[in-house]
Amino acid sequence: MARRKTGRDVHGWLVVDKPAGITSNAVVNKVRWAFGAKKAGHAGTLDPEATGVLAVALGEATKTVPYITDAFKAYRFTVKLGEATNTDDAEGEVIATSDLRPDDAEIAAALGGFTGEIMQVPPKFSAVKIDGERAYKLARDDEEFEIAARPLWVESLEMVARPDADHVTLEMVCGKGGYVRAIARDLGATLGCLGHVVELRRTWSGPFDAEDGVTMDLIEELAKSPDLDDYLRPLEDGLEDLPELKATAEGANRLRHGNQGMVIASDVEYGDEAWASYEGKAVAVGIYKAGELHPSRVFNL
């Protein structure tokens, strides 16, 4: 018999402003403990030394995680020019150096090659699986392996500061699966000067902004108290990029039981993915067909 999960039935999103020096999973575990929640997960890993938005889903909100994972995300990061590291960030060992330093115009010109749909090879120190093994584990064991390039949509990549000849600060908006460290590595290679990330912050992720993020100190301070619940955002925030349909009373009841239910539609077409609400609360996500939503995910609220 499977073990029953213990904890509170708490549902919603907590936007955490993750500090450097802690893993994303450690943040999720701390949030789950602080709320006493049965279930928690996050929408997009940040490297341990990265800061910024880590959106943590609790309870039924975990069913909306894929929609935040797929959403656009924005990063502000600083690249150190003249050095390549084995991890493509400052945590790794320097493996090559260059005395070449491009000027601002050369950097700006190179950025154009990193926008639109690009092919990106993830860093070897990443969680990508190679024949069932995490790439970072193989890299730590000095195994020889290759990671296949994968497509990434980069909406924009701009230079926002040049602190000195050795550093450039960039802002990027991209789709799912982007590695900022790989952008820094490949930009340095394109410029002929090498490069790696020395500072990285995710400024927003889908509907969630770093400015609205809760600190780990506040989570510790309010842990196990009702006051922490005041910082929860509704489950429905995770569905912002999908059209909302209003379910009828009977339709909502059918949807809750996993059956197609009647909805009132306006701007959706046959075959579109959408979510249905009843009295302001999410009921299900599914495919709209001829006046009904055919559910793929049902929310048990």
* Type and span of the H or E element at 253: helix 249-256
E-strand stretches of 10-72: 12-18, 40-42, 51-58
Question: What is the helix, strand, coil percentage profile of the chain, to 5?
Answer: 25, 40, 35
CA pair distance 96, 222, nearest whole angstrom: 47
CA pair distance 48, 19, nearest whole angstrom: 8
Residue 295 burial (10 A CB sphere; 0-12, 13-18, 19+)? buried
* SS3 category, 268: coil
Other residues' Cβ atoms within 10 Å of the Cβ of residue 240? 15
Which of 9, 17, 47, 103 does the annotation list as catalytic? 47
* Type and span of the H or E element at 187: helix 180-191
Is 186 catalytic? The answer is no
Residues with a catalytic annotation lie at: 47
